[in-house]
A and B are shown apart, each in its own frame.
Chain A
Amino acid sequence: MTFFAPFTIPFIVGTIFLFVAVATKWILWIARLPKVDRRLIAHNFFSLGTLAAIWEVVRESLLHAKIFRRNPLLGFMHMSLAFGWFLLIVVGWIETIVYLGFEMIPLQGHVFFKYFMPLNGIEAHIPLFEQLMDALLLLVLTGVALAWFKRIASKAMGMRRATKHVLFDRIALSALWFIFPARLVAESLTAALYGGNGFLTGTLGGFIGELLPTEVLTTLYEPAWWFYSSALGLFFVAMPFSRYMHIFTEIPLIFLRRWRLRPTLERKSYDNFEVEACSRCGICIDPCQLQEDLGIHDTQSVYFLRDRRYNMLSLKVANNCLMCGRCEAVCPVGINLTTLRINSRAKRRNIPHEGRYRYLTSLDRSSGEGKVGYFAGCMSSLTPAVQHSMERIFEAVGEAVWYADKDGGVCCGRPLMLSGETDAARKMVAYNTDLFRRHEITTLVTSCPICLRSFRENYHLDGIEVLHHSQYLDRLIAEGRLSVKQGEESYSYHDPCELGRGSEVYDEPRRVIEAVGELREPRHSRRDALCCGSSLANTVIGDEQQLRIARRMTRELEETAADAIVTACPLCHKAIARSTHHTVVDIAEVVARNIAE
């Protein structure tokens, strides 16, 4: 049996190149993993996590279930390309085994089996396989057609804006678009000359056979197979440098994630898996308010990851992000976009400075005494009504409270962290942790979602329960310690990014509002809520731009026609208050006003 023909050379070269390139990347990335990560892999290798990862690979990398849920047509496009191609390979493999038995057949023998069949004198066709392979080819071709369609009409597939691609992506994309039509032509020509094949290539072959004289068919035959093989080869060569590297990156990423590896505030080798797992699907573009409200089109996560991957990340792109998490919430690959953005910033300016914040030594401005600590947060000192309301509530329930920063405190450190100054931030973390420990509190209530998130994610406060004031209030009401009057007023609630998407606190503030009045939801709420635009994470956009973001978001709150707009973050409060004439209050104020006598 012979399984070699000159036209297979592009394919063979491409495949070897692809294999070497991907293997090199994988080996380098894994070898450079820090010790903690390698230990995690060793520890979790034989665990249920591995089984869960296998299932997730099938569900997400092949079937693309998450994209399906978002938009069925878009999901079908991804699925037909990925799963269809995968089945073509698997079924093709089985087909050759059925025909030839378990023999050592080189790779090109499987891939171009239709070419080698007549060459090796195999005449008896198995209709089941012929039809099946044609059906699969049709499935993939549908995917390709949809991909074309998406280029011209992305809106129909639930995407208002599609990704702008770089050169390598364009090469790979063009090659990919040609692979399957080329296969269709080559196999149809084979059918025209040698008979056989299923409903698609067979029928098309018969048609061509009647249309064209045999001499033309034989002249076209080799070039057609050459074209198919070259498209495959070109695609494979471009693949490791293009977005299509995501195919070979998402799979190990899923396993590593199940083995509990995570990106951190400092860059590490694991980040490579996350960065290159991005398929540049562009789903993260639409939710970005910088794009929608400000017309900034170069900073969305897809472009940030692309720039970082090709080492062309500018300071501006790294910094121009609200870290609102709206993109992370929809990313079908589940990339930790915020953490990656932070550690990209860290690399740029994390210069430790001895003596920095030396003034923190032996500083203690706290007052009061109690097991419950109240940390208003820097921003809350600009919204004194929040602090006064909390004080009234503490008094009403007779809570003994230690006030951490009533007379000026130290920042929680998250703003520094968001700017990439993680080393400096650690000094704040150490200072505040020590302060809390020294005053032996067991509960820590904060009015600022930014502080809340840093206490939860960046502090080690074992033995101290950290609550946002909305959670604390919810608990007081539920436990009957605080009785409130149910009033007539209606409130439209804004989910702060750091509280909602950031800390998954959605229900408590809503329950609190419902206890005192009527709750109204804006068009975008909960996981889908809009950012107020004043996020500390963005140091690029100016005042007027912040205001534009705030205005659109506030308009949705106004549209509910509620008596007042309620939020639970001092920063959001400020941003909303300056873009509306409606009443804006914090949830603590709402409760304090409605304490039952």
Chain B
Amino acid sequence: MSTLNFGYGINRPRAIDLDNNDLRKSNAIIAEMPELQACIGCGSCTASCTAGAITNFNFRKLHTAVRRGEYRGVYEELSKCMLCGKCRLVCPRGINTRGLVMLIKRKLGDF
């Protein structure tokens, strides 16, 4: 059966399980970069993203997931980032997003 292409899909149903998510790494990241709490989730970083323009890489989704303590696959996905720095220029909250990419990778990866 062919479906109409509306240009968007339907997300899998999901729930944020703050009781079971392990927030230790998330807290450590926020402790090093408190300004992340100022994120308003506007998505400008994703919209301007160089890697996002050629893949389905979504930076806002990733750092939001990390803050919630959902780390699975984030490290691998985040290594798609080219560190080009466009996101930092557009972020209305002035978040040091490049530093954040490196920080998350450092905390989640083993280096």
Contacts and interface: CB of A to CB of B under 8 A. Distances in A.
Interface of A: 348-349, 351, 353, 355-357, 359, 363, 365, 378-379, 381-382, 408-411, 413, 415-416, 419, 421, 424, 428, 534, 536, 539-544, 571, 574
Nearest to A345: B102
B36 to A, nearest CB: 11
Contacts of B94: 542-544
By Cβ-Cβ distance, the 7 closest A-B pairs, closest first, are A543-B94, A408-B53, A539-B99, A411-B82, A378-B84, A411-B84, A415-B83
B108 interface: no
Interface stretch (B8-16, B22-30, B63-71, B85-93): B85-93
Contact of A408 (B54, B83, B89, B96): B54
Contacts of A410: 50, 54, 82
Given A379-B85, A544-B94, A363 B54 contact: yes
B98 interface: yes
Given A351-B111, A540-B99, A378 B54 contact: no
A408 to B, nearest CB: 4
5 contacts: A349-B111, A359-B54, A379-B89, A411-B84, A415-B85
Contact of A411 (B50, B89, B95, B106): B50
A384 to B, nearest CB: 12
Interface in B40-87: 48, 50-51, 53-55, 76, 79-80, 82-86
A382 B90 contact: yes
Nearest to A538: B99
A534 B97 CA distance: 13
B109 interface: yes
Contacts of A543: 35, 94-96
A356 B80 CA distance: 6
Given A351-B109, A415-B98, 8 more contacts: A359-B80, A379-B89, A381-B86, A382-B48, A408-B53, A411-B50, A419-B98, A539-B96
Residues of B in contact with A, size category: 20 to 34
Interface of B: 35, 48, 50-51, 53-55, 76, 79-80, 82-86, 89-90, 94-96, 98-99, 102, 105-106, 109, 111
B86 A378 contact: yes
Contact of A365 (B54, B83, B98, B106): B54
B85 A536 contact: yes
A357 B80 contact: yes
A381 B54 CA distance: 14
B85 to A, nearest CB: 5
Contacts of B89: 379, 382, 534, 571, 574
Contacts of B76: 353, 355
A353 B99 contact: no
B82 A416 contact: yes
Contacts of B96: 539, 541-543
A311 to B, nearest CB: 19
Nearest to B99: A539
Contacts of A539: 96, 98-99, 102
Contacts of A355: 76
B53 A349 contact: no
Contacts of A421: 83
Contacts of A571: 85, 89
A357 B94 CA distance: 27
Contacts of B111: 348-349, 351
Contacts of B55: 359
A170 B98 CA distance: 39
A266 B56 CA distance: 32
B83 A416 contact: yes
Nearest to A381: B86
Contacts of A363: 54
B71 to A, nearest CB: 16
A408 B50 contact: yes
A379 B90 CA distance: 11
A525 B64 CA distance: 43
A424 B102 CA distance: 13
Nearest to A363: B54
Nearest to B93: A543
Nearest to A383: B89
Given A363-B54, A408-B54, A539-B102, A382 B86 contact: yes
A424 B109 CA distance: 15
B35 A542 contact: yes
Contacts of B83: 411, 415-416, 419, 421, 536
B86 A349 contact: no
A349 B95 contact: no
A353 B109 CA distance: 11
Contacts of A356: 79-80
A574 B99 CA distance: 19
A462 to B, nearest CB: 25
A539 B35 CA distance: 14
Indicate the member of B84, B90, B98 with the most A CB atoms within 10 Å.
Answer: B84
A296 to B, nearest CB: 15
Contacts of A353: 76, 79
Contacts of A541: 96
A418 B49 CA distance: 19
A357 B83 CA distance: 12
B20 to A, nearest CB: 29
Contacts of A416: 82-83
A348 B76 CA distance: 19
A574 B91 CA distance: 13
Nearest to A407: B53
Nearest to A365: B54
Nearest to A356: B79
Contact of A415 (B35, B82, B90): B82
